[in-house]
Chains A and B, each alone.
Chain A
């Protein structure tokens, strides 16, 4: 149930990694470098892109790991109706005071209207 919910909410962010695992894309950035200067994809022509270095940076997490980390919180949301962002942010905090590092994505998803 939790896994299906995750796939429903994040479906457009999920892709198959080369090892066949389903992965949620958290961040993606692509830029081009020429003579030490960085350009975004929309700042240069396709012809110029061919002469540039292309660098991509991607941050991702497998669906399995995400469910493992936030499964209980998502279940709580489904059971009680508490806002998903609230339960996820709470689960993002470890008992030792450290963070799992998902708060910026949770806030982004809330801002985008993907979750409430």
Chain B
């Protein structure tokens, strides 16, 4: 402040300018005419863009500037990969189960190099297995990899099927990323026969995408009619949103549209639905009155 006081004590701008022109060697080097703008020649080339390549090797016009990474990538756990020799007509099965209490997003895959092999990928709880995807048959080089959300109780399974008359080599593997948010348990309830609606209209706060496991344990009460689960969405027309959901363990019934699934009675059911929209489930006993009840367990995983 003292400097300003001195300067303000009697020097005019013209006098200050004169002093700068005559006395300030440094200032003269950068701003020869003291017009308040640095002389271009005094500025290093790398700062003016005249020779930016010498700094980073990229040229703005090359369109090679790396995009800003908006996604925070979590470290990938290379859980397992390995080969098995599978005899003619046999199967090789890998199961990959995360540590207790943890939820992982896992990429699991399989590979076979025989002309009549198949690779299946799915979920299992150790007792029941639901295969979600299968690639088989004609390809000489059959390879498939899919992403699953897995826990210690519902984990990944890869099965290689050798349909040939000779031994073949098959590969199974899994990489995974831990999901930090964990499981939000929604409910477990035993309900009477009839239709049960499960509504989740608003997405959970802070969860841009989420996933549901839905398991219905059926007490058939001797009824042989089908159970149907309908997956409804209030923002996507039924039939038009087919790519937005996946269903496990439910067979599509003839005559139903793509958003309706059903399966014969007497088995446990498991549904996995990946979704990033508000949605609505409906479980319906098609027979109307035969069930003595069914237990529905729904687990929601946010990520």
Contact of B91 among A52, A61, A66 (CB under 8 A): A61
Given contacts A100-B87, A100-B167, A105-B87, contact A18 B129 (CB under 8 A): yes
Whether B96 and A55, one on each chain, are in contact in the complex, defined by CB atoms closer than 8 angstroms, is yes
Determine the chain B residues whose CB is within 8 A of the CB of A57 once the complex forms.
Answer: 82, 84, 92-94, 172
A113 and B2 CA atoms in complex are apart in Å by 103
Whether B93 and A55, one on each chain, are in contact in the complex, defined by CB atoms closer than 8 angstroms, is no
Tally of contact residues, A, Cβ under 8 A: 30
Chain A contacts with B in 10-61, Cβ cutoff 8 A? 18, 23, 26-27, 33, 36, 50-61
Q: Smallest CB–CB gap between A109 and chain B, Å? A: 13
Whether A101 and B86, one on each chain, are in contact in the complex, defined by CB atoms closer than 8 angstroms, is yes
Q: How many A-B residue pairs lie within 8 Å, measured between CB atoms? A: 92
Q: Smallest CB–CB gap between B24 and chain A, Å? A: 63
Q: Is A80 an interface residue (CB 8 A)?
A: no
How many interface residues does chain B have, given as a range?
A: 20 to 34
Given contacts A61-B87, A100-B88, A102-B87, contact A55 B166 (CB under 8 A): no
A113 and B99 CA atoms in complex are apart in Å by 38
Contact of B90 among A53, A54, A61 (CB under 8 A): A61
Whether B89 and A69, one on each chain, are in contact in the complex, defined by CB atoms closer than 8 angstroms, is yes
Whether B94 and A56, one on each chain, are in contact in the complex, defined by CB atoms closer than 8 angstroms, is yes
Query: Please, what's the 1-or-0 string for B67-96, where 1 marks a CB less than 8 Å from any CB in chain A?
Result: 000000000011110101111111111111
Given contacts A18-B128, A54-B97, A55-B94, contact A98 B166 (CB under 8 A): yes
Whether A53 and B99, one on each chain, are in contact in the complex, defined by CB atoms closer than 8 angstroms, is yes
Determine the chain A residues whose CB is within 8 A of the CB of B94 once the complex forms.
Answer: 55-58
Interface, chain B (partner A; CB < 8 A): 77-80, 82, 84-100, 124, 127-129, 162, 165-168, 172, 174
**What are 20 inter-chain pairs, A to B, with CB distance below 8 A?**
A18-B128, A36-B78, A53-B99, A54-B95, A55-B80, A55-B94, A57-B94, A59-B84, A60-B90, A60-B91, A60-B93, A61-B87, A61-B91, A68-B89, A94-B165, A100-B88, A100-B167, A101-B88, A101-B162, A101-B168
